[in-house]
Structure 1
């Protein structure tokens, strides 16, 4: 039974990391940002600098939460412009849980 569990966990591991390994081998040229995307990226950078300059001690909890969610949205948008390949943390956690539960 343990051999089957180890075999399945290794297979899940290879399935999770195989796309990332293949993506590293493929060298694709970075596409230049369009003028609109460059402008939006500059707006995001300016807004982040404004947020860094804010005094969080004077804010209420709801305002801080709102600023935090705004930063998360801008970060996701900036990453989407980068066209990168990422392995999610959730996938890694699920793989680890499967390994722990099967052993």
Structure 2
């Protein structure tokens, strides 16, 4: 029971620092997004290929050709998803991190 006030104090202190870090990241984010408007050349090529496939008249294609186009679209979309440069944490990873932090304190 004596640990509860200390955990409460740590939680309140950690939450008090959140607004200042959010404000700092928003100002930097505006500068980064304005500079990083250009897409890489390979992404432009992939997007243009997707537009070409969408504009095609698929009624004249055979079954196997349609299947190849679908596979190509899926591969291009998966490649575009992997070009995003970011760190993604799953819900399980976040829970494990929180549990480890609780165990440490």
With structure 2 as the length reference, what TM-score do the two structures score?
0.45
Q: Whose relative contact order is higher, 1 or 2, with alpha carbons under 8 Å and at least 6 apart?
A: 1
Which structure: larger Rg? 2
